[in-house]
Amino acid sequence: MKLEGKVAIITGAGAGIGKATAILFSKEGAKVCVNSLSKSAEKTAELIQKQGGKAIFVQGDVSKPETAEKIVQATLEAFERIDILFNNAGIVIPGRVDNTSLEDWERTFAVNVIGVYLLSKVCLPELKKTKGVIIHNASVLALKGVKERAPYSASKGALLALTRAMAADYIEDGIRVNCLCPRTTDTESLARRIAAFDDPEKARADFIARQPMRRFGTPEEMAEAALYLATAQFCTGIYLSVDGGMTI
């Protein structure tokens, strides 16, 4: 088991990539702290426990400093160490610069960037002890422009740059920092966005038609990529684009 004896924190773990990664990390031997804004990740923790793994759930908004403190404190109380931080929580608010409100722009950066900063900052003292790893979940939109995704793309581009900066800052401490860049993944969040269209069936078909491989990625495929970044000992400051050919 690749993560035997390790302890991982995964934000946004109530569904999609975060949930799949928590389950995979547990199967690989890790003890897991899962977080979500709602109580959704509580079910992820319960599922892991039913499968014989060890997991705890901490509810909270990652854009708030008190949430980061609460997550780290609970993890240390339960498992006594931190080896992996997967900054997965994020939101998607569609829009261009000219039609995005300041409120939506600030909320996007609060969750997608400030939340990453807060969790990373609080975890770093523990990760220095364990020579651990941080994974930021960005997006292929950090690498490629598409319409109606300006705030989201800007926030994910920030994570790509932050990955390189942090990798340089903490390499002497033995901490690796890497970045996952998924393309459209078949998650509950995507399903909700598609359901909001007047013709959801057509919308889903249109979404798929834009994918070079003519399908969405799966949460499990993204989890496997996160596992690679967590265990690739000679990789730091890199991004792994799991995009079905979008950036060819």
pLDDT reading at 210 higher than 90: no
The whole-number average pLDDT for the span 118-141 is 98
DSSP state of 181: E
pLDDT for position 207: 87
Catalytic site includes residue 239: no
Domain 7-182+218-241 part of CATH 3.30.300.130: no
**Distance between CA atoms of 133 and 49, rounded to whole angstroms?**
24
pLDDT for position 27: 98
The domain ranges of the chain are: 7-182+218-241, 185-216
pLDDT for position 33: 99
Question: pLDDT tens across 42-83, in order?
Answer: 999 999 999 999 999 999 999 999 999 999 999 999 999 999
pLDDT for position 193: 87
Q: Give the closest residue to 91 by CA, choosing from 36, 143, 146.
A: 36
The whole-number average pLDDT for the span 14-33 is 98
Q: To the nearest whole percent, how much of the chain has pLDDT over 70?
A: 100
Task: Give residue 188's pLDDT band: very low, low, confident or very high (50, 70, 90).
Answer: confident
* Enclosing H/E stretch for 241: strand 239-242
pLDDT for position 149: 96
Looking from the CA of 31 toward its CB, the CA atoms found within 13 Å total 15
Structure tokens at 53: 């793994």
Q: Which letter, b or e, does each residue of 115-138 get, where b requires 16 or more Cβ atoms within 10 Å of its Cβ?
A: bbbbbbebbbebbeeeebbbbbbb
Catalytic residue among 152, 170, 228, 239: 152
Please give the model's pTM, rounded to 2 decimal places. 0.96
What is the phi/psi pair of residue 149, to 5°? Answer: -140, 30
